[in-house]
């Protein structure tokens, strides 16, 4: 059983640029969520995708967008990068089912630095 894999692990961008982060969900998982973890903070929910549609969004501006593909892999896109976007971006997958809590399985994250 493969876990959640994210790429790239580290990247550096400059203000105003655009970035795409990628995530492969754990096998058998049909839901993907993205979180932003700033230094010294806990992860903050960005959005969730289920069946290729956005299914919940946190308090992030529209320049944060995402995609989920038929194979349940996902992308996070951030346009017009700002210095405050520097953070660890975590992808998490789960299997949405009819009962019980859906425990998230997290990837190791992509660390973005905006200069």
Which chain residues interact with other proteins by CB under 8 A?
A: 4, 31, 33, 35, 40-45, 48, 55-56, 58, 90, 92, 94, 96, 101-109
Residue in this structure with the two tokens 């105003």, named with its chain if needed: 16
Retrieve residue 114's tokens.
């905006």
CB closer to other proteins, 42 vs 70 = 42
Closest distance of CB 54 from other proteins, Å: 12
Interatomic CA distance for residues 27 and 86, integer angstroms: 29
Q: How far is the CB of 48 from other proteins (least distance, A)?
A: 5
Cα separation, 58 vs 64, in Å, equals 10
């Amino acid at each position: 059983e493969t876990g959640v894999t994210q790429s790239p692990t580290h990247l550096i961008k400059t203000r105003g640029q655009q970035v795409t982060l990628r995530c492969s969900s754990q096998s058998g998982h049909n839901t993907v969520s993205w979180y932003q973890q700033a230094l010294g903070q806990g992860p903050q929910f960005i959005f969730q995708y289920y069946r290729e549609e956005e299914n919940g969004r946190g308090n992030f501006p529209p320049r944060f967008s995402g995609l989920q593909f038929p194979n349940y892999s996902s992308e996070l896109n951030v346009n017009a990068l700002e210095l405050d976007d520097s953070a660890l971006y975590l992808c998490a997958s789960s299997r949405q089912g009819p009962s019980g809590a859906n425990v998230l399985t997290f990837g190791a994250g992509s660390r973005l630095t905006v200069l």
